[in-house]
Structure 1
Amino acid sequence: MVGARRSMDWGFPRWRGYGSAREATTVRLCDRHGCDEPGNCPAPKSPNSPERWQFCQKHAAEYNSKWDYFEGLSKEEAAERAANEKRDNDGFAQAGHYGWAGSGDGSRSADEMRALEVFDLSADADFAAVKKAYRERAKKVHPDVKPGDAEAAAEFQKIQVAYEVLVQAEARREWKG
C-alpha cells in the first residue's frame, strides 16, 4: 500500500487536540519592506478606510508611534473635539455604579470592601462618609471613654485598621489623579 498514511486517532477524531492538523497554514508576512516576521497586527491604510496594512508587532508600534488623533485640526477645533468626547463619555463613567457588577465592580479592593463593612458603609461611599463613620465609632469605643474595657479596645483597634486601609486607598486615588 503505497501512499497510505496511518491515522493517529483510531476512529476517535477528538483524541488529538484542536488545530493539530498536519496541513500547511498560510502565514501573512509583515507589509513592511524587507521584514520576514508574521504580520498579525492590522493597521488602517487611511482614516475611515476598511483596507488594512498587516504589520509585525515591532513595525505596528513604529507605525503608531507618531499617530496624532487631532492631526489636521486647529488648537480650538482639537480642544472642542476633546471637550465634546469627554462630555459624551462622562455619562458612561457617572452611570458605572448602576451596572450589574455591584460591590465587586473593580473600583475598590477586597481590603477596602472589608474596611467599609466595619463601618457599615456601601461600596460607593465617599471619603467624607468614611471620616464621619470613623469619628462616630471612635467616640463610642475610644480607650479614654471606656478605660479598662478589653472589648472596646479590640473594637477601637479594628476600626483604626479599617480606617487606615481606607485612608491609604484614598491617597492612592488622589495620587493617580
Structure 2
Amino acid sequence: MVKPRRSNDWGFPRWRGYGSAREATTVRLCDRHGCEEPGNCPAPKAPNSPERWMFCQKHAAEYNQKWDYFEGLDKAEKEARAQTERSENAGYAEAQHYGWSGSGDGSRSADEMRALEVLELEADVEFGAIKKAWREKVKKVHPDVKPGDKQAAAEFQKLQLAYEVLKSAEERREWRG
C-alpha cells in the first residue's frame, strides 16, 4: 500500500508562489538556434502576418533592430499608415512637456531642473555653459586630484550624473529638431 505524501504548503494552497504547482510547467524556448532562454517575446515572421517567432528579450531586440514597419507598402499606403500612427500618438507628444512638475514653461523636466541645481545653474542656460560649469566643478573633486577622499568621490558622482541627465536631454532636443 502506497502512503500518501504530505504537502509542503501545510494545506494552504495560496502559500505557493505563482506557477509553483506540483505539475511541470511548459516553457517555450527561444526560437533562435542554440538559445536556451525562455521565449516570451513575440516577433512577427512577416509584415501583416499573424504568425510569430518567440524570442528571449535579447534576441527579440536583435531581431527588431532593423525591422521596417512599412516594408511592402507603396508610397501612398506608407504615408496613410504613418499619418494614422501620428494621429493616434499625437496625444502623447502633445502632453510630453507636462512632466512631473517641470520647470513651468515646459522646456525642462524635473530631472533636468534637479541636475541644474546640482551644477548651480539657471533654467534657461545654454548647453555650452552647462559643460563649462560641469568641467570647472569636476576638476575640483576628481578622484585623481583628491585620491581617497570619499566625500569628493560622492560629489564627483553626483556631478557626473547631473551632466549625463542634461547631456541626454540636449541630445533628445537636437534629435527632435
Normalized against structure 2, the TM-score is what? 0.48
Structure of higher CA gyration radius: 1
